[in-house]
Homo-oligomer: A and B are copies of this chain.
Amino acid sequence: MTSAFQTAGNSLAGKLVRTQGVTAPAGFRGAGIAAGIKASGKSDLALVFNEGPDTAAAGVFTRNKVKAAPVLWSQQVLSAGKLRAVVLNSGGANACTGSGGFQDTHRTAEEVATALSNWGTETGAGEVAVCSTGLIGDRLPMDKLLPGVTEVVHELAGGISGGTDAAYAIMTTDTVPKQAAFHHVDKWNVGGMAKGAGMLAPSLATMLSVITTDAVATADQLDTALRNATRLSYDRLDVDGATSTNDTVLLLSSGASGVTPSQEDLNAAVLAVCDDLADQMMADAEGVTKRVRVIVSGAVSEDDALIGARTVARDSLVKTALFGSDPNWGRVLAAIGIAPIELDPDRIAVSFNGSPVCVDGVGAPGAREVDLSGEDIEVTIDLGLGDFTVSIRTTDLSHAYVEENSAYSS
């Protein structure tokens, strides 16, 4: 959790907690229900509602060229820089579903707008973002989803626990809900929730995340804060190199605190929340038995450091070695060696959990005896060429990962 503040490069005055999420900032309500979209009967429909007074918003979406219907819809909606609500469903991605699937998304947004208007807040479908997660390729059961929308709007009447209910409703293979909130000493707040356990990779993970704030900020300021935060947090989480068709991160501001923080403080607070949520996603990734940080330092550019760290973080042989608690540093060298970056094999130094295992490209004494039996492993690779450092979060490659992802249409 300290990393967020280090990365932000300043000392942000406030407190980060994990007991609250999107409803921690003033002006937001949340709800989550079981609408029957999931065959299991578990909670599967969430709503985040912005009571205002402001409705400025920003979004970041998957870079996958195959985009799910809700991504196409929400990108369109966000072009106006305003959001009144976000409706999210698990139990189906509504991806690769053609024009029929897009109509389903549009219909869902209209149903939310109607229900919110009936509930007392005049809302247009163009102010409602839609997020979906689950199996790719199937149409959503609209006969269950649409009645669910009316129900979830009624649930908004609940208190602060509505944010937690929403965090539960967006879970797929996640085993725990992920929430974080940052309370600034100047009495403005940022809250967030996220889901994502597999298909986690750069260009966002298979993740949905909604961040809220009661700070006063324009859509442009929110956009700056959100892009900065995703670049340094979610984009540096790489579990399996896969990038989803549905990745969506939204930032909504209500302005209800009446406080206008500096852009720098807003950036730092949004990053703090996203970074903590990224940490929670790493810890709950599919099949994870080791939480791994791959740090590349001494690179000639930030890009080189990032590409190098990502290449090692994705390497199946490194990841299986870490699963086996095996300090097989040769695989780290082989992995960094294929990264398309500037490097000198004779200057590379590698350490595991701070113990040097390779110096100047050659094994260090005792390298094979380093203890990696714990759950947290830090792999540091110093290229010895420049001043740039990047850290990537990843996991090991375990039997449980294979098991979870080989079950029929998981």
Query: What is A's interface to B at a CB cutoff of 8 Å?
Result: 63-67, 93, 95-98, 135-138, 198-199, 201, 203, 240-245, 314-317, 320-321, 323-324, 326, 328-331, 333-338, 343, 345-346, 348, 358, 360-363, 367-368, 397-399, 401-403, 405-410
Contact = CB atoms under 8 A, between A and B. Distances in A.
Given A65-B343, A136-B334, A399-B399, 10 more contacts: A95-B333, A241-B315, A242-B334, A242-B335, A242-B338, A243-B337, A316-B405, A321-B405, A368-B409, A398-B402
B399 A317 contact: no
21 contacts: A64-B337, A65-B337, A66-B333, A67-B345, A96-B363, A135-B328, A136-B331, A138-B363, A199-B334, A242-B331, A242-B334, A242-B338, A243-B337, A244-B334, A316-B401, A323-B402, A324-B406, A324-B407, A328-B409, A399-B402, A402-B402
Contact of A96 (B199, B333, B403): B333
A320 B286 CA distance: 12
Given A326-B409, A402-B402, A406-B323, A137 B363 contact: yes
A324 B334 CA distance: 30
Nearest to A327: B409
Nearest to A406: B324
A403 B399 contact: yes
Give the dominant DSSP class at A's interface. Answer: loop
A96 B358 contact: yes
Contact of A324 (B65, B67, B136, B408): B408
A340 to B, nearest CB: 9
A245 B333 contact: yes
Nearest to A337: B66
Given A199-B334, A409-B368, A361 B66 contact: yes
A308 to B, nearest CB: 11
Residue with the greatest number of chain B CB neighbours at <10 A, chosen from A67, A96, A243, A409: A96
A337 to B, nearest CB: 3
Nearest to A65: B337
